[in-house]
Amino acid sequence: MPAADIVLLPFPRRLSHDGNWVKVPDSGQVLLIGGEERSAIRLRQGLDVSEQWVVTCAQRAEAFITIVCDSEFGARESFEIDVTHNGIRVRTGDDAGAYYGAVTVRQLLRQRLGWVPTCRIWDTPDFPIRGATMDVSRDKIPKMETLFGWVDRLAEWKINQVFLYTEQTFAYEGHETVWKDADPLTRAEIVELDAYCRHRFIELVPNQNSFGHFRRFLNHSEYRHLAEAPDGYALSRGRWSPHP
């Protein structure tokens, strides 16, 4: 398999593969050197390894996967990966780089069941902010499990900012008339989603359109006086909308 045939999203700046593969053990240790204890939980989530794998900061552990955090390494969120017959070694300069290195290893482990390509990878982001929008204002409102799944996928693609777009689908306090039939996201759910995002190095940004898309508000008599055109407005090609 040439290096170009190894499927990684996003594809790293540099990748070289010598054509060989190494067998991955069914269980083992993931050794974190130089990182904080709390980072071990994030790395387990990033790697998505089974319970047979132990993530540890113990300096004497014999590990198939080693992740080294070295403040002298280089740019933020950057990492390098070296896969040999002795195992997988990730080197980075910060916790975010360790996480992105871990999710890249996770993708390498998917290339061929039970095997990983011997290769060298170096990567650093093209942009400091890498965003995506999740619009939950139309159709079926996603459950929290679905939102968590989307966040996991975006984090694996190294997205670090998510705009959550809502209209009548957030339970604004004192505005129950608008959202009572919309199955909206609650304050507590947003707080939970925010924590879930931060744990994966994603900033959750609330996005409420305040110049348009307020029909669900303005259709109600107590909000209609706020509309620029309370009795309807002209659309293109001579059409007319009766909505405020």
Distance CA 86, CA 73 (A): 22
Ranges in the chain, pLDDT < 50? none
pLDDT of residue 45: 72
- The CATH 3.30.379.10 domain(s) of the chain lie at 3-123
Strand order in the sheet with 65-69: 14-23, 115-123, 79-84, 87-92, 65-69, 28-33, 53-56
* Of the candidates 115, 163, 141, the residue with the CA atom closest to the CA atom of residue 17: 115
pLDDT of residue 37: 57
93, 75 contact by CB (below 8 A) = yes
pLDDT of residue 142: 94
pLDDT of residue 22: 94
pLDDT of residue 28: 85
| Separation of first and last alpha carbons in the chain | 59
DSSP 126-174: S-S--EEEEE-SSSSPPPHHHHHHHHHHHHHTT--EEEEEESTTB--TT
pLDDT of residue 203: 98
Q: How many residues does the chain have?
A: 244
Distance CA 216, CA 218 (A): 6
170 contacts: CB under 8 Å, gap ≥ 6: 179, 184, 185, 190, 208
pLDDT of residue 39: 65
Residue-wise pLDDT tens digits, 114-133? 899 999 999 999 999 999 99
Domain 131-235 architecture: 2-Layer Sandwich (3.30)
Distance CA 158, CA 99 (A): 9
Q: Provide the CATH topology of domain 3-123.
A: Chitobiase; domain 2 (3.30.379)
H helix or E strand, kind and range, residue 90: strand 87-92
- The CATH 3.30.750 domain(s) of the chain lie at 131-235
